[in-house]
Homo-oligomer: A and B are copies of this chain.
Amino acid sequence: MALKVEQALHMVGGAGETSYATNSRLQEKALYRTKPILETAIAELYRTLLPERMVVVDLGCSSGPNTFLVVSEVLGIVGDLCRRLEQKPPEIQFFLNDLPGNDFNNVFRSLERYEKKMEEEKGDLLVPHYVVGMPGSFYGRLSPRNTVHIFHSNYCLMWLSQVPQGLESEQGVPLNKGNIYIAENSPPQVVKAYQEQHRRDFSTFLKSRYVELSIGGGMVLTFLGRKSKHPANGELSSLYGLLAEALNAMVSQGIISQDKVATFNLPIYGASMQEVKAVIHDEGLFYLEQAQIFESNWDPFDGTDDDDTVSDNVLNGKNVAKCIRAVFESLIAHQFGAAILDELFVRYAEKVARHLLKEKTKYTVLVIALKKKA
């Protein structure tokens, strides 16, 4: 049976060196970059509805500094807006959503410190707000009908609800051997399986959110995608291809079994904007208000997103490996055992470093703003 993501996936908890909280700079950068789009969405909603209460749901909030960055951004946007319009600010209720395996205890304990800091900084200017935790998969219903004003999601919608079905032949033989994602040598059935899983999941996502949004409500969604037409030419194919190489090297040295790699495939899909638009169009539930693509360095600490020079490829490799580990550790440990993690990511860092000398491949990030049709 295909692995359900909600059973095995969670970002590395706590606040230690390998935790997601410490290694989520990539997601943080995207939050800053997409803020103007969020601003526009909130302003339009607010001007139309002038709500006394606003419900904001952050889908895939994870556990770390970014969790509250979203809260701060929204509070700042609404506060500024209300001052400009000379309106009393609404009360905002934030629902922080993630899978049940997420470290919500850490989120809730950080919340106290966050609230204290905000009160000290903002005083009376702080928009009244209440934060709760919402466990569950966003590939399904999470909220009662017509109750949400804004859905926000950062770096989550590339996750599929499960490893695609159909990655095996009818006889049960793995079709994507040696790969862990779509690669150049993946057979067409593999590509098709990924594409269909993505289409099904994104369509379920849109339908669920449509029911939950109140009239006038909207979404701002940021996620990893690709620029090229064919999925095997995507930037994620390169990134995960290098991880597959590291795993295969460990197979050839007898450290892990070939079978384990043959049956391991990432429940992720980097869609093109064209594919995303096609699903939105077919469902017909939302207006596409904004659609932007930007690029982000694999190493989030390399701030030169706009040029192609690599100044320290070894450091870049290590940083990339840390980010990828914080995100994928639970899935990899689930398949291969936790004992291989340290060695795998040392090897992976080296492979990324070598790749960056050849080509400074970057993440392709898609941002879309949607508005519920009346």
Contact = CB atoms under 8 A, between A and B. Distances in A.
B133 A132 contact: yes
A104 B108 contact: yes
Interface stretch (A143-151, A295-303, A325-333): A143-151
Interface stretch (A134-142, A157-165, A167-175, A262-270): A134-142
A109 B101 contact: yes
A52 interface: yes
A108 B93 contact: no
Contacts of A102: 108
A146 B52 CA distance: 10
A92 to B, nearest CB: 8
A146 to B, nearest CB: 8
A95 interface: yes
A103 interface: yes
Chain A interface SS verdict (over half): mixed
Interface residues of A, number: 32
Contacts of A101: 109
Contacts of A109: 100-101
A53 interface: yes
A32 interface: no
Nearest to A105: B105
Contacts of A111: 100, 135
A287 interface: no
A91 interface: yes
A306 interface: no
Contacts of A95: 132
A215 B144 CA distance: 19
A112 interface: yes
Contacts of A128: 144
Given A132-B133, A133-B132, A145-B52, A108 B100 contact: yes
Interface string A86-108: 00000111010000111111001
A272 B73 CA distance: 47
Interface in A183-215: none
A132 B130 contact: no
Given A100-B108, A105-B105, A108-B104, A130 B141 contact: yes
A19 B130 CA distance: 29
Nearest to A7: B112
A144 B104 contact: no
Enumerate the 7 nearest inter-chain pairs by beta-carbon distance, A residue then B residue, closest first.
A108-B135, A91-B144, A133-B133, A100-B108, A53-B144, A132-B134, A105-B105
19 contacts: A6-B112, A52-B145, A53-B145, A91-B145, A92-B144, A93-B147, A95-B132, A100-B112, A103-B105, A104-B104, A104-B105, A104-B108, A104-B133, A111-B135, A130-B134, A130-B136, A130-B142, A131-B135, A132-B132
Given A6-B112, A100-B108, 10 more contacts: A52-B145, A95-B132, A101-B109, A102-B108, A104-B104, A104-B105, A104-B133, A111-B135, A130-B144, A131-B135
